[in-house]
Structure 1
Amino acid sequence: MSGTTSLGRAYVTAGTLLVFLVLWAVIAASPWASGGRSQALAALDRREALVRQRAALAEQRHAARWARFRAAVEAAGNRPNRPAAVAQPQVRIVPLPPVATTRSS
């Protein structure tokens, strides 16, 4: 057997994991990046504002159409929605011959 102990291996493993996590945090923080906002984020913010503005306009249009619809329904009063002379279709059950014939012995 070699001269290493299990306790030594545990310390090396813990130290390696600690170094890995610290390096990961440093790289994720990216301290070398510029402090200004990127053009992509600025464009994304402009796009979000445009989408929010269009959504508000669509909501206003929807509310206006819904109000006109409710007013039309109230103005219609008790008029029936369809003419009274609409005939209901007749239902027929038609027996069909079998598609395939099987003959068993």
Structure 2
Amino acid sequence: MTLIITNEPVPLKIDTDDVVRVGKTRVTLDTVVNTLQNGATAEEIVYRYPSLKLADVYSTISFYLNHQQEVETYLQQRQNQAQAIRKMNEARFDPQGLRDRLIARQVEQAS
């Protein structure tokens, strides 16, 4: 019996929104890395996100450990984008104003 060793492709894909996803799932690289950094094992990650395959999670962790600086830069860019979108939405839809309108509507309907 001969063992054949092959290079397996990393199960990471960039979708149309430039978000890195794991395998053929909607789970993001951000999610796997953050869960790992919060102390979860690969098995726990698969338990939390059952659409993931254990082998894909291990490959993703390996990729992260071998390319930590690049992944951290990507994660920081994603965080900056999320903050910019949050600020834009808050500017467009004032949360305090929305709350006041909802309370006024409740009072109006109760009358």
Quickly name the TM-score band, shorter chain normalised: 0.3 to 0.5
Q: Which has the larger radius of gyration?
A: 1
Structure-2-length-normalised TM-score: 0.32
* Structure showing the higher helix proportion among its residues: 2
Higher relative contact order (CA 8 A, sep 6+): 2
Q: TM-score, normalised by structure 1?
A: 0.33
